[in-house]
Amino acid sequence: GEDVEQSLFLSVREGDSSVINCTYTDSSSTYLYWYKQEPGAGLQLLTYIFSNMDMKQDQRLTVLLNKKDKHLSLRIADTQTGDSAIYFCAEPYNQGGKLIFGQGTELSVKP
Amino acid sequence: AAGVIQSPRHLIKEKRETATLKCYPIPRHDTVYWYQQGPGQDPQFLISFYEKMQSDKGSIPDRFSAQQFSDYHSELNMSSLELGDSALYFCASSLGGGFSTGELFFGEGSRLTVL
């Protein structure tokens, strides 16, 4: 079945690292995605990782992929108040373009 | 860089009316996707088009229809609107059907309110 799971809330202090976790079900996924959504705004593609990679780093963002456990994580270093948003992980359901989203993790960054 | 353009950004309709949302993909992108996001919900896939042909279909009601035109823009037509159709409608675009390049960009969304 198609199911992507995330924890719903995460609260950190400014300057700390944030780690948002996600589990997925389809082991044949070619790419896995992280999107950021600020209140009332669109879905901003943060980063994506190809399934043959274990890690991808892009400035303050680090994505870790554990294919054996079907676990994906997003680490934000030196978290800022501007990082406060909802973060969605997503996996393709098939090659036709359907993305299955997790419930979203609301990240709250306290000064 | 040009992004996915959606119009209108906000739309208010009455029950049983009809609404049309438009999506202009990133230049040279040939695939568009439509998603619906209810309040506090994650986005749900509605339908996608690759090279003007429907490539996949999700939980799109029969009251809704969509198409992709020769210039690759897409329109989502919604008829007999219901209160439950109030949501943020996202369009996304990519190059190549499905996930051949990995990059899948979303527009800012069209917020539909049905009264």
Distance to chain A for B94, nearest Cα, Å: 9
> Facing residues of B108 across strands?
none
**pLDDT on residue A82:** 94
Whether residue A1 has pLDDT greater than 50: no
A22-77 pLDDT tens trace? 999 877 778 899 999 998 888 998 998 988 899 999 999 999 999 999 999 999 99
Determine whether the interchain pair B56/A94 forms a contact, defined as Cβ–Cβ distance below 8 Å. yes
Closest Cβ opposite residue A45 in set B97, B99, B105: B105
> Facing residues of B85 across strands?
none
Distance to chain B for A102, nearest Cα, Å: 7
Q: How far apart are CA A93 and CA A72, in angstroms?
A: 16
Enumerate the residues of chain A whose CB falls inside 8 A of the CB of residue B103: 45, 48
B90-111 pLDDT tens trace? 999 988 766 666 678 899 999 9
B18-52 pLDDT tens trace? 999 999 999 989 999 999 999 889 999 999 999 99
Distance to chain A for B39, nearest Cα, Å: 10
Determine whether the interchain pair A98/B45 forms a contact, defined as Cβ–Cβ distance below 8 Å. yes
> Any idea what DSSP says for residue A46?
E
Pairwise pLDDT comparison (A93 vs A46), residue with the higher score: A46
CB B103, CB B38: distance < 8 Å: no
CB A89, CB A25: distance < 8 Å: no
Determine whether the interchain pair A97/B55 forms a contact, defined as Cβ–Cβ distance below 8 Å. yes
**pLDDT on residue B7:** 97
Amino acid identity of residue A108, one-letter, is S
